[in-house]
Structure 1
Amino acid sequence: MAPSAEEAAKKASEAIAGSAVKEFKRESNTARFVGAGTAGIAELAIFHPVDTTAKRLMSNHGKIISASQLNSVIFKDKASASIPQRFISLFPGLGYAAAYKVLQRIYKYGGQPIARDYLAKNHGDKFDNAFGKGNGKAIMHATAGSLIGIGEIVLLPLDVLKIKRQTNPEAFRNRGFLRIIGDEGFALYRGWGWTAARNAPGSFALFGGSAAAKQYLYKLEDYNSASWLQNFVASIAGASASLLVSAPLDVVKTRIQNRNFENPESGFRIISNMAKNEGFTSFFKGLTPKLLMTGPKLVFSFWLAQTLIPAFGKVM
């Protein structure tokens, strides 16, 4: 007996379950940008001091062998000040950080679904054919993240100014934002290649790790249907993978960006000096505080964005 129209539709639906082709436009772009921006603002308010601490540890060239030395590296000229003053010293460059972090999260978390929609609509069948349904969808999410990560270099000047303010405020010499832009110009894009090289695998691992957790751990066909707990676990998987993969290039990128404007140093020279003078482990400096402190920051913002974007999608 020929199957009924309802049975045929059900079988067709089952055939495309998990297909990359079906991962397309589940919420408005407004919902994506508002959800991502809200996550960025919340992250900034809570974790900016943590980010400053990690950047200062990564920028330290020597070995830390005592608590007093650690105190000096983290708090710099406020190392002997009161506890409130030391805490406030962890908020340098907050204006640059606010602009960079919120724009970055809007671009990254809000832009990845747009890139994913494009890939699903135009190349979804290629991902399915190359990797199989389910696998193809997860890899497509990761690829969309990687493409967005590379494009993130457009925000590089704000990141450079934020890092210099956190780790090398003397580089500003009392100059304001517009004066620095006028003086330095495209020099603010110094290290863009290393930034792209760091962002591509890091963003691939972030979105790919999250998608893999939803696909293989929770067997979700629609990633947007994940509960807040499932999004939290998936964010841990993605953030951990991203930090581990990007750690070496992140150290190089930070050292390029925290140099004085008039005394730049190439990434290859930095790598050579690190390997010669500090050893292989120097490429993972700051990894422990990043996993313990910056890791939760990334987990928090990614989890919040993944939870808020579908929620806002229902009302926008």
Structure 2
Amino acid sequence: MSPTAPIPLGSGSSSTIERESTAARVLGAGTAGIAELAIFHPVDTIAKRLMSNQGKIASSTRLNEVIFRKHASEPFVRRFFTLFPGLGYAAAYKILQRIYKYGGQPFVRDYLALHHGGSFDRTFGKGNGKAIMHATAGSIIGVGEIVLLPLDVLKIKRQTNPEAFRGRGVLRIVRDEGFALYRGWGWTAARNAPGSFALFGGSAAAKQYLYKLSDYNSATWFQNFVASIAGSSASLIVSAPLDVVKTRIQNQNFEVKESGMRVIANMARNEGASAFFKGLVPKLLMTGPKLTFSFWLAQTLIPAFNKMM
């Protein structure tokens, strides 16, 4: 049997191990991250600025001011290029994040399949257990993503609150702020756990129930695309409220120590319950395609690279 072939322990069994090579997982996930960054960084900036806005947007003029800020009155071409702040941080964060998340989830999934696959099958039934196991592996890897949090913090501040830097370079900020760069880590983990569960679980469910696939790596590019839409949409909806809280915490000035619970209380009192879903529609329309694109590309490229190696 080929060392890269799935171990056939029954159709839809949670104990089936998809043995892609490490190189294929890193290359596939990394390529997806690079492609996503090149195409969608401006979209991410717009979404972050909309989530950070604390007032109501009642006109196109106000929308223009929220998105482009002090550049709102400049020609469109100049305004467009203001949507690329923090590109260096974004590149480091996004590429590492996608390698970690898309390339790392299969390792956790394989561990669960090897040591706990039978438990998932007995608890949820074959097929159901496999989809839930993929979701659980995604949730575990999502929580660990907080290791990359400082890069995400710096990226968001550059996108939404560049005044927080006050002319300081990255090394000076790291030296000055230290572990303050992990501010909001608990809220990030709380957002990532259900969000990543929904991302990988939604994709696995689409392959399991819509296309009746027992080997998820055998999905065609179109099946991966549909599965990625299902997973990314579920992830964005589930994680939306905590994502807004996380963004509000991270875009504060470095010296501000407002806690997550205080942010929630102020949002509920001053902006109402709908504030927790600010930016959701733009995220579904703009960030949704970004997540769908990178997840689809990773799911398609990892098996493709594995066959080539």
Q: Does TM, normalized by the shorter one, top 0.5?
A: yes
Q: 2:30 matched to 1:34?
A: no
Q: 2:246 matched to 1:276?
A: no
Counterpart position of 2:139: 146
Of residues 144, 156, 160, the one that matches 1:167 is 160
User: What are the within-5 Å matches in structure 2 for residues 130-279 of structure 1?
Assistant: 130-279=123-272
Task: Say how many residue pairs are matched.
Answer: 303
- Counterpart of 1:95, as a letter, is G
Deviation per CA, 1:229-279: give whole Å up to 9, x if none: 000000000000000000000000000000000112100000000000100
3-state DSSP of counterpart to 1:314: helix
- Counterpart of 1:179, as a letter, is R
Counterpart position of 2:58: 65
Q: 2:292 matched to 1:302?
A: no
User: What are the within-5 Å matches in structure 2 for residues 91-110 of structure 1?
Assistant: 91-110=84-103
**Cα drift, residue 15 of structure 1:** 7.3
Counterpart position of 2:3: none
3-state DSSP of counterpart to 1:50: helix
3-state DSSP of counterpart to 1:173: coil
3-state DSSP of counterpart to 1:296: helix
User: What are the within-5 Å matches in structure 2 for residues 44-59 of structure 1?
Assistant: 44-59=37-52
Structure 2 residue runs without a partner (length 5+) = 1-6
> Contact (CA 8 Å) 2:9, 2:15: kept in 1 or not?
no
**Cα drift, residue 14 of structure 1:** 8.8
Q: CA, structure 1 residues 199+15, in 2 after alignment: closer, same or farther (shift >3 Å)?
A: closer
3-state DSSP of counterpart to 2:252: coil
User: In 1, distance between residues paired with 2:236 and 2:256?
Assistant: 29
Counterpart position of 1:21: 15
3-state DSSP of counterpart to 2:308: coil
3-state DSSP of counterpart to 1:20: coil
**Cα drift, residue 17 of structure 1:** 1.0
User: In 2, distance between residues paired with 1:119 and 1:26?
Assistant: 13
Q: CA, structure 1 residues 15+98, in 2 after alignment: closer, same or farther (shift >3 Å)?
A: closer
> Contact (CA 8 Å) 2:21, 2:306: kept in 1 or not?
yes
Larger Rg: 1
Counterpart position of 2:4: none
Runs of 4+ in 1 over 6 A off after TM superposition: none
User: In 1, distance between residues paired with 2:94 and 2:65?
Assistant: 26
Identity %: 79
Deviation per CA, 1:199-245: give whole Å up to 9, x if none: 00000000000000000000001000000000000000000000000
- Counterpart of 2:204, as a letter, is A
User: In 2, distance between residues paired with 1:120 and 1:159?
Assistant: 31
User: What are the within-5 Å matches in structure 2 for residues 68-83 of structure 1?
Assistant: 68-83=61-76
- Counterpart of 1:143, as a letter, is T
Counterpart position of 2:286: 293
User: In 1, distance between residues paired with 2:9 and 2:139?
Assistant: 28
Question: Under a length normalisation based on structure 1, what TM-score does the superposition of the two structures give?
Answer: 0.95
Deviation per CA, 1:53-106: give whole Å up to 9, x if none: 000000000000111110010001111111111000000000000000000000
- Counterpart of 1:81, as a letter, is E
User: In 2, distance between residues paired with 1:247 and 1:29?
Assistant: 32
CA RMSD of aligned residues (A): 1.0
User: In 2, distance between residues paired with 1:233 and 1:15?
Assistant: 27
User: What are the within-5 Å matches in structure 2 for residues 116-135 of structure 1?
Assistant: 116-135=109-128
- Counterpart of 1:198, as a letter, is R
User: In 1, distance between residues paired with 2:143 and 2:65?
Assistant: 35
User: What are the within-5 Å matches in structure 2 for residues 4-19 of structure 1?
Assistant: 16-19=10-13
Deviation per CA, 1:25-51: give whole Å up to 9, x if none: 421011001000000000000000000
Counterpart position of 2:78: 85
- Counterpart of 2:254, as a letter, is F
- Counterpart of 1:197, as a letter, is A
> Contact (CA 8 Å) 2:18, 2:217: kept in 1 or not?
no
Structure 1 residue runs without a partner (length 5+) = 1-12
